Amino acid sequence: MLARRLLSTWPMLRNLARARRTAQWAELKSILKRWLVSVLRPGNRSSSDGIGGNNKSNPRPPALFRMAAGYWLSQAIYVAAKLGLADLLKDGPKPSRQLAAATGTDEQSLFRLMRALSSTGIFVHYRNDCFALSGLGESLRSDVPGSLRAMVITLGEIHYQAWGSLLHSVRNGSPAFNTVFGTGLFEHLLRDAEAGDAFDKGMADVSSMLACAVIMAYDFSGISSIVDVGGGDGTFLQKILGVNPEIRGTIFDLEPAITKAKQRLDGETVGGRCSAVAGDFFDSIPEGADAYFLCGVIHDWSDECAVTILRNCRKAMAQNGRVLLVEMVVPDGDASCFSKLLDVNMLVMTEGRERTRAEFSALLDAAGYKITKIVPTLAPQSVIEAVPGTSELTICH
């Protein structure tokens, strides 16, 4: 309806008629066609993409433009996370001047940021320039389960900088991160304490959510011991052990991560059933467990490196042991799926990749396993269960 009203106005018709006699007509016609398709497409009046909400007096720009400008929103969310605005609003609405004073920012500039984020549903804009936290924005708080604040910060800093050189990765097939920062991701995180801390906190928050999804989806019966390979600060494993009192566990990672894990273990109560061991999974892995969890580990590495890690797990596991990968499984064809965009992130950040079911099967086969189950969870990730030798594949629904 809006498009018809605009096109029926005399000035627009007059200008279009005039343009038809100029060299710009072909270009104008093409742009107009794309604009009309965008305006008239089903669901165009929603603001689900968060860029430029639509209303009668302020129609949205073309869909492709909104997609290309997506980083405007991502960086605005990053700044809100970095400033801790959600934490400041957890007890109720506050005026922008009070928020500016608390964050040491320019009042008018902060107001403009908050107004923009309110238009996307992250904050709520009241009269007298007061702002409140929305349900969506709750995840930016640092003190809530499922917090995404730390992850948003690491995405807005090292990921954002590396993605600026995506063209390098596409042209050369190598991580743009290494070119931007002069070293690989994990080396940089060890060297830059602030970046490493934000990354570790973000991964711990994600691990906590993934653990809950895995707990609800996977059958742990028959497992008495677990090694969490690349387990970071132990968040994932401790969640698993917390609801499976018959299982003992070991967190295994490099020394810096294990130091943090031991600090967490001092304050956690899992009945003394969890230990933390430092080491390098490219060399060897603690022996004798029934199950070896690799949560978001394999996608960080090339096929060659991933096979080495998986073979080391196979050497270490007890008889009748299993390996459990918590990873996204990329669907075949052109189905829309976040894993396909995450795969490009892995191209930019590391030498890893997201994999299809067939690629996981080939990878595990090369390491001496066969997939026995792929268990979907409430998260985008699935649990891929594999055992040494030959077994039949089961897809759980």
| Catalytic residue list | 299
* Beta strands per DSSP E along 296-356: 322-327, 329-330, 355-356
- Non-local (6+) Cβ contacts of 1 within 8 A are none
- CA–CA gap between residue 112 and residue 107 (Å, rounded): 9
Is the CB of residue 205 less than 8 Å from the CB of residue 148?
yes
Is the CB of residue 332 less than 8 Å from the CB of residue 322?
no
- CA–CA gap between residue 276 and residue 258 (Å, rounded): 6
- CA–CA gap between residue 285 and residue 323 (Å, rounded): 13
Tell me the three state secondary structure of residue 173.
coil
Which H or E run contains 338? helix 338-349
- What is the maximum alpha-carbon separation in the chain? 82
User: Which is nearest to 349 in space by CA: 137, 146, 148, 203?
Assistant: 203
User: Which is nearest to 49 in space by CA: 27, 35, 68?
Assistant: 68
b/e string for 208-245 if b means 16 or more Cβ within 10 A? bbbbbbbeebbebeebebbbbbbbbbbbbbbbbbbebe
Among left, alpha and beta (phi > 0; psi -120 to 50; other), residue 52 is left
